[in-house]
Amino acid sequence: MKNEVKAEVDEIVASGGRRPHLCVLLVGKDAARISSESIKLPESTSQKTLLQVIDKLNKNQEVDGILVQLPVPGHINERSVCNAIDPSKDVDGFHTVNIGRFCADQQAFVPATPAGVMEIIRRTADATTTICHRYTPPEQLTVFTKTADILVVATGIPNLITADMVKEGVAVIDIGINRIKDEKTGKIKLVGDVDFEGVSKKASYITPVPGGVGPITVAMLMKNTMKAYRKEINFD
Ligand SMILES: Nc1nc(=O)c2c([nH]1)NC[C@@H]1CN(c3ccc(C(=O)N[C@@H](CCC(=O)O)C(=O)O)cc3)C=[N+]21
């Protein structure tokens, strides 16, 4: 590493900010405290510099888990960044090694949001899985949503799913996180992709936003961090 780049990286890492904010207390033999550190880099940061910061964290024995908050600015290749993280510290499960191992039924770090959703559903029973996406015609979308026993929504479109689109007794999991302006107060508020007000009247279960998938995602990230700390995942 060139000296001036190294100095820059050292400075960025050193200015990484305050430490013990996030305190997760586990009582019993696993009692531990997870400390976390946010390293905020300017938008203009080059890919090279970012990769060097990651490399330093990879080599730092004190660091068990690394998460690069996505999305990254356009001049940075997301895949290269995810793949720069040591797979054994990849608590996001975004490294191709972890994705590949997961798909091949090998031990791996699994992404926190889907793991959280599975935790919510907590069922291993057979289910037919169908996927709709941005090219699903709107009138067809309703055909699918109306037949669903479990409806998992992640679109980024506020109020996409309304009461008329679901069947009585459906279980709804809302992964959407949208910041919209509240018509009444003028304040920015957080909503999901589901019209909670209407759909909750028909649903047997429904996760709210905020207070649903978000917090359980964080919990799954903590779980992965503990797995990384204990070196529980065997990458052989
Ligand atoms: N590498 C990477 N991994 C991620 O897992 C990742 C990411 N990048 N980029 C952004 C998204 C989004 N995400 C959230 C997690 C928890 C809440 C959460 O806990 N939300 C609270 C509300 C928080 C608030 O009020 O702002 C809630 O829903 O109750 C939100 C969003 C993880 N992401």
State residue 179's pLDDT score: 95
Q: What pTM was estimated for this model as a whole?
A: 0.85
For ligand 1, say whether the CB of 72 is within 6 Å of any of its atoms.
no
For ligand 1, say whether the CB of 211 is within 6 Å of any of its atoms.
yes
The CATH number assigned to the domain holding 191 equals 3.40.50.720
The Cα–Cα gap between 94 and 229 comes to 18
Query: Is residue 118 included in any domain, yes or no?
Result: no
**Over the chain (236 residues), what is each successive 10-residue block's mean pLDDT?**
50 45 43 75 90 92 89 94 96 97 97 93 74 93 95 96 96 96 93 98 95 91 90 95
Task: Please give the biggest Cα pair distance in the chain.
Answer: 65
Q: Which of 113, 189, 220, 225 to mutate to test the pocket of ligand 1 (most atoms within 8 A of CB)?
A: 113
Spell out the SS3 assignment of the chain: CCHHHHHHHHHHHHCCCCCCCCCCCCCCCCCCCCCCCCCCCCCCCCHHHHHHHHHHHHHCCCCCCCCCCCCCCCCCCHHHHHHHCCHHHCCCCCCHHHHHHHHCCCCCCCCHHHHHHHHHHCCCCCCCCCCCCCCCCHHHHHHHHHHCCEEEECCCCCCCECHHHCCCCCEEEECCCEEEECCCCCCEEEECCECHHHHCCCCCEECCCCCCHHHHHHHHHHHHHHHHHCCCCCCC
Q: What are the residues whose beta carbons fall under 8 Å from the beta carbon of 103, sequence distance 6 or more? A: none
Distance 153 CA to ligand 1 centre (A): 15
Query: Is residue 106 included in any domain, yes or no?
Result: no
Query: Is residue 227 included in any domain, yes or no?
Result: no
Instruction: Judge if 130 and 211 occupy the same domain.
Output: yes
Tell me the CA end-to-end span of the chain in Å, nearest whole number.
30
Exposed, middle or buried, 40 (CB in 10 Å: 0-12/13-18/19+)?
A: exposed
DSSP letter (8 states) at residue 141: H
For ligand 1, say whether the CB of 177 is within 6 Å of any of its atoms.
yes
The Cα–Cα gap between 127 and 64 comes to 36
The CATH number assigned to the domain holding 7 equals 3.40.50.10860
Instruction: Judge if 8 and 72 occupy the same domain.
Output: yes
Helix, strand or coil for residue 58? helix
For ligand 1, say whether the CB of 169 is within 6 Å of any of its atoms.
no
Query: Is residue 139 included in any domain, yes or no?
Result: yes
Query: Is residue 58 included in any domain, yes or no?
Result: yes
For ligand 1, say whether the CB of 69 is within 6 Å of any of its atoms.
yes
State residue 86's pLDDT score: 96
Q: Which of 57, 177, 206 to mutate to test the pocket of ligand 1 (most atoms within 8 A of CB)?
A: 177
The count of structural domains within the chain is: 2
For ligand 1, say whether the CB of 156 is within 6 Å of any of its atoms.
no
Query: Is residue 38 included in any domain, yes or no?
Result: yes
State residue 14's pLDDT score: 59
Nearest atom, ligand 1, residue 221 CA = 5
Domain residues for the domain of 171 are 125-215
128 neighbors 137 (Cβ within 8 angstroms): no
Query: Is residue 112 included in any domain, yes or no?
Result: no
For ligand 1, say whether the CB of 92 is within 6 Å of any of its atoms.
yes
